[in-house]
Amino acid sequence: MSQPAFSIEAAQKPIVPGRVEVAKPDHRGIVPPAEFPPQTANSVLLLTLDSCRYDVLESANVPALKSIGRLYKAMAPAHYTLPAHTSIFAGFTPGCAELHEPYVNPKYAKFFKLIGPGVPGKAEDFVILPGRNIVDGFKRLGYQTIGCGGVGWFRPDTLSGRVLTVDFDRFFWGGRTWALPAQLQFIHRNLLESKGPNFVFLNVGETHVPYYHEGADWDVKHNPCVPFGENNDAAECRRRQTICLEYVDRLVAPLIRAFSTSTIICCADHGDCWGEDGLWEHSVFHPKVFEVPLLFRLGEKPR
């Protein structure tokens, strides 16, 4: 795909926002779908497990997530949700700088390279996309772009939340961080309506503080990971995030099956500190905040 000529007219075209939905306050009785319509080999699923630590995913019993591919210990592109997802949506996915391998190291070659800015990598990128970010790029290729947010940076009813959500054809925010059944219902409904191919993005909030999922047997009001907090508990953080991740694995397994011949990228946007060097949670520069899991498998090249 060649570089298009610069056009001031194109730059001044208004951005047409997609349709957004926000969950109803009461999530009780929402049943996550047991199966999803099978997706084409050129469809793409991007899954971000918000705040999930690498060591938690490595030791957790998560067969569906681990079926995606080899688990890499990658470095996140930023230390909190907004810039991490802005980077991911610009093609800078979490990577391993020490590996000279395409996609695992986005400096070497990217899953998704935007036409325009940035220095070419060493090897061929998986796909080159037009657009101001990869969501817009997939939309311009004729994909249906379906997105779901878990954490507050994805609130489409706030101006800051519109930054990450405005380009999706359909976007849903769960209304709270633990909303995976409602998110999966939204994706299911939109995949049934879509003629495809599809670009599906799912930001999972159950792995974010306070580490809680629907029906969990602990008090959601007690957060064991509070920056500058007095009653933090690293063992409880690890126990809860592990249980939440194993819950997420069970619920997303049918979605991963539906994309069995497609491209799937699964990563965290950043990790959390659990008392290392006296630090808690994220949005701070610390190696544990940047250390994240990355798994992927490639389907047909998007076209």
Minimal distance, residue 20 CB to Zn ion, in Å: 20
> Is the Cα torsion angle 237, 241, 244, 250 positive or negative in sign?
negative
Minimal distance, residue 48 CB to Zn ion, in Å: 7
- Cβ 234 vs Cβ 274: under 8 Å: yes
Minimal distance, residue 272 CB to Zn ion, in Å: 9
Minimal distance, residue 117 CB to Zn ion, in Å: 24
Binding site for Zn ion (CB under 5 A): 50, 81, 269
Measured from the CB atom, the residue of 102 and 150 that comes closer to Zn ion is 150
Minimal distance, residue 51 CB to Zn ion, in Å: 5
Measured from the CB atom, the residue of 206 and 269 that comes closer to Zn ion is 269
Measured from the CB atom, the residue of 292 and 295 that comes closer to Zn ion is 292
Residue nearest Zn ion, Cβ-based? 81
Measured from the CB atom, the residue of 108 and 154 that comes closer to Zn ion is 154
Minimal distance, residue 226 CB to Zn ion, in Å: 16
Measured from the CB atom, the residue of 65 and 78 that comes closer to Zn ion is 78
Instruction: Tell me, letter by letter, the H, E, C secondary structure of the chain.
Output: CCCCCCCHHHHCCCCCCCEEEECCCCCCCCCCCCCCCCCCCCCEEEEEECCCCHHHHHHCCCHHHHCCCCCEEEECCCCCHHHHHHHHCCCCCCECCCCCCCCCCCCCCCCEEECCCCCCCCCCCCEEECCCCHHHHHHHCCCEEEEEECCHHHCCCCHHHHHHHCCCCEEEECCCCCCHHHHHHHHHHHHHHCCCCEEEEEEECCCCCCCCCCCCCCCCCCCCCCCCCCCCCHHHHHHHHHHHHHHHHHHHHHHHHHCCCCEEEEECCCCCEECHHHCEECCCCCHHHHEEEEEEECCCCCC
Measured from the CB atom, the residue of 125 and 291 that comes closer to Zn ion is 291
Minimal distance, residue 165 CB to Zn ion, in Å: 14
Measured from the CB atom, the residue of 180 and 258 that comes closer to Zn ion is 180
